[in-house]
Structure 1
């Protein structure tokens, strides 16, 4: 029983240390509406060279659900870029210390706005060290830390899957809405054509009988 209590205390201390040292993984998740012909840039600062930088984005609505993007390093060199992409998930190594820019461009659209969900994550290699705890060996601490890291990775995978399904749902909803609008306008046009044909037939019949009466007279 005492061993379980010690393990629980160690777990709580580890979580508390994660909260105290947010530099282990700093992330930013945002939603931005990119107007037509607009170029929107966002920035992230890297404190150490060779850190891992994660960049995820997905177009949720607008036009054909595509957008241009470019990521540049502090020396204004392009790290990754793409044109007319619907979504992307990248991890690259930051070779230089400084400010990295993440830009979205909606130049291809004349009037359509693009709603973009994106996330920028910077992960540092050092980890917070746990304070010594009585009755807990280093192997147990390492095993618990590895289990928590695996759990964090699984939660990140689930979060990415939820974002993917959300993107698919928004796109499918947009397709259904566009199809409903087309059906509505097609039905309206069809009804107008039917009414017009009926009016034309009545006009032709009345004109025919009027001409016939005049001929007999």
Structure 2
């Protein structure tokens, strides 16, 4: 039992070191009738992209937003939203755009907090050990990846 727990902790540490995350937590002011865009790069297909925003002040605390992939295809959009929290998989490598638009307001600027996260979780096979069953390792590995994703979501929610 102690060996299995030790293996679990070693694997968890390995996965934490192997996980690469780029994140940008920002606050921006968006003037009346203004459109502001921010960009994030996905190095390869299959990376997870997280996008969170919340309007902190201005008017009815709402904003229009749009997320496009490198081929200019709209992935997400919303009108007069107060906040949102999305996670999607990058199907194409390249630059993704995250735009806010304050068209509905003619006088009031909006203050928006947002976070863009690009995460890569390489799924490397751990070295095989004598007597170790590969199916059990991959199930354990999948559980750890799911737990890691849930912890990241909790952290983002608390932020």
| Map of 1:33 onto structure 2 | 28
| Map of 1:4 onto structure 2 | 2
1:67 is aligned to 2:86: no
Change (3 A) 1:158 1:34: same
TM-score under structure 1 length normalisation? 0.57
C-alpha distance in structure 2 between counterparts of 1:44 and 1:152, whole Å: 22
Gaps of 5+ in 2: none
Check conservation: 2:67, 2:77, Cα contact below 8 A: yes
Gaps of 5+ in 1: 164-217
C-alpha distance in structure 1 between counterparts of 2:152 and 2:15, whole Å: 20
Change (3 A) 1:142 1:78: closer
Equivalent residues, number: 158
Bigger RCO (CA 8 Å, 6+ sep): 2
Larger Rg: 1
Query: Which structure 2 residues correspond to residues 62-211 of structure 1 after superposition, within 5 A?
Result: 62-124=58-120, 126-133=122-129, 136-159=132-155, 161-162=157-158
Computed over aligned residues only, the root mean square deviation of the Cα atoms, in angstroms, reads 3.1
| Map of 1:18 onto structure 2 | 16
Partner-residue secondary structure (3-state), 1:70: strand
Change (3 A) 1:128 1:60: farther
Check conservation: 2:50, 2:86, Cα contact below 8 A: yes
TM-score under structure 2 length normalisation? 0.73
Check conservation: 1:11, 1:144, Cα contact below 8 A: no
Change (3 A) 1:161 1:92: closer
Check conservation: 1:54, 1:89, Cα contact below 8 A: yes
C-alpha distance in structure 2 between counterparts of 1:71 and 1:34, whole Å: 18
Check conservation: 2:19, 2:122, Cα contact below 8 A: no
Check conservation: 1:31, 1:115, Cα contact below 8 A: no
Structure (1/2) with the larger strand percentage: 2
Change (3 A) 1:99 1:69: same
Partner-residue secondary structure (3-state), 1:74: coil
Change (3 A) 1:121 1:17: same
C-alpha distance in structure 1 between counterparts of 2:154 and 2:18, whole Å: 25
Partner-residue secondary structure (3-state), 1:127: coil
